[in-house]
Amino acid sequence: MPLDELLYKQEHSLYKQSYSPLELKSGVVCADGVGVGWYDEVGKPFIYRNTIPMWNDPNLEELSNYVQSTCTVGYARLAGIGESLDISNCQPFRSDQLLFVHNGEISNFQQTLYRPIRESLSDSTYRLIKGTTDSEHIFALLVQIWQSSPDSTLFWALGATLEKLAELASEYNTSFSANLIVSDGEAIAAIRYAYRTQAPTLYWSYDALKHPNQVIVASEPLSNNQNWTAFDEQSMLFFQAQSLEPRISLLKKFSAIGV
């Protein structure tokens, strides 16, 4: 699919959501940067990021008319309080085959989980962090957990990452919201999750008859058709290339600490 089909051409595309979101609670517009990641025909991941608003970025629109991919991850940024408008803080984040985006926040991140997350990382994973956002630190924790169990799936690694974050948040008396999407080009895992707060909205779309190999996950529905399903809080979606249908899981094991 051409990138512009997802980023620009839908009724409520990411482009439109950047300046006219319908369900954004933490601000008015997403004007603090834009990014898109995709995989080429041999599965190599690429990213484009910029610190300007998506609606002011003609380069991304030009690129989107040319690039096609079977797996795409896009993001319009609303910076957290105190976060700089630096390219290193723009998503998606990438490590080897992984592309990752996060919507949400860790409350009082610098004073609470900044150091505990870093102390849980190996030297190589620690060096992945180039910016200062809570999002990139969550990604580094995910990479650490996934690399420690190389035979595991993204589904398992994402769940284990949220479990570790919840443990740290409990220990350091903070809250967080974490809508996460991660892909290796062959599978995608997405989660809507919050600990002691409310998670942002998240939706998924799958049409077994018209588009049996296509799953779309978005903060807000990209169109007005009826094929969009809202994620429950503490729920996860997993879709593997060549599979017949997505797998949906409610993270019941987190229910006791995730309220």
Element (H, E) at 56: none
Read off the DSSP letter of residue 201.
P
Q: Supply the pLDDT for residue 68.
A: 95
Q: How crowded is residue 119: how many other Cβ atoms within 10 Å of its Cβ? A: 8
Show the tokens assigned to 59: 């380069």
* pLDDT at residue 226 tops 80: no
> Residue 183 corresponds to which tokens in the numbers above?
């892909």
Q: What is the pLDDT of residue 151?
A: 85
Provide the token pair at 186: 């062959």
Q: Where would I find the H helices in the chain?
A: 3-7, 14-19, 58-64, 114-119, 123-126, 134-148, 154-171
With a cut of 50, say whether residue 258 has pLDDT above it. Answer: no
Q: Is 212 left (phi over 0), alpha (psi -120 to 50) or beta?
A: alpha
Measured between alpha carbons, how far is 151 from 146 in angstroms, rounded to an integer? 9
Q: Which residue has the higher pLDDT, 241 or 4?
A: 4
Query: What proportion of the chain, given as a percentage, has pLDDT over 90?
Result: 76
Average pLDDT over residues 235-251: 74
Q: What does pLDDT average to over the chain?
A: 90
The answer, yes or no, to whether residue 82 has pLDDT greater than 90, is no
Q: Model-level pTM?
A: 0.92
Q: Give the integer Cα–Cα distance in Å for 113 and 110.
A: 7
One-letter amino acid at 175 equals S
Read off the pLDDT band of 84 (50, 70, 90). Answer: confident
More confident residue, 248 or 118: 118
pLDDT digits (tens, 9 = 90+) for 46-78: 999 999 999 999 999 999 999 999 999 999 999
**Residue-wise burial string across 198-231, b where 16 or more C-beta atoms lie within 10 A, e elsewhere:** ebbbbbbbbeeeeeeeebbbbbbbbeeeeebeeb
- pLDDT the model gives residue 60: 96
Give burial (CB, 10 Å; 0-12/13-18/19+) of 22.
exposed
